[in-house]
Amino acid sequence: MKRCALIVCLLVATVAAQAQFEKGKWIVSPSITGLELSHNTDVNRTSFGLEAQGGAFLLDNVALLLRAGASWNSGGSDADIYGLGVGGRYYINSVGVFLGANVNVDRWDWGSSLDATKYSLGVEAGYAYFLSRTVTIEPSVYWNVNDDRSKIGLKIGFGFYF
């Protein structure tokens, strides 16, 4: 009986989730990033960041997203990073598992004349767990690479589907 109830619940969740990943729907997804592991030949740093993404589903299960974010760092040179980007997500089988990729322009602010603008590429994988028909919790793992640094991190966010 428990197994049957679990299968019914999963079916209902899948049907409810599928309706949110259809062409023409909108998504807004603010998130908190952190626990990053930075790789640099000189220094490893810890950082905390905020990010917001928003966009539209151009096809079923495929979303085009615009991204804005900021990351405040401690350790090493204490550079803060402000970024803008564009990317996309593909939702696998309409059950909430997603893969994403993005291209970003990042402003590295050291508080001096050494500030720099860098371009980066990112990928992420996560899961959109539906709390209600339109609200999700979205834990994900991401990897971001520019010309001299690579970051692997975890983030957790909320998704609002309209």
Domains, the chain, with CATH or none: 2-161 (2.40.160.20)
What is this structure's pTM? 0.76
**Token reading at 22:** 């259809």
Average pLDDT for runs of 10 along the chain of length 162? 50 50 90 58 65 93 94 71 94 89 90 83 95 92 86 86 91
**Token reading at 128:** 């959109």
Q: Which residues of 95-116 are buried (b: 16+ CB within 10 A; e: fewer)?
A: bbebebebebebebbeeeeeee
Residue holding tokens 């998130």? 31
Q: Distance between CA atoms of 112 and 32, rounded to whole angstroms? A: 27
Return the number of other C-beta atoms located less than 10 Å from residue 83's C-beta: 23
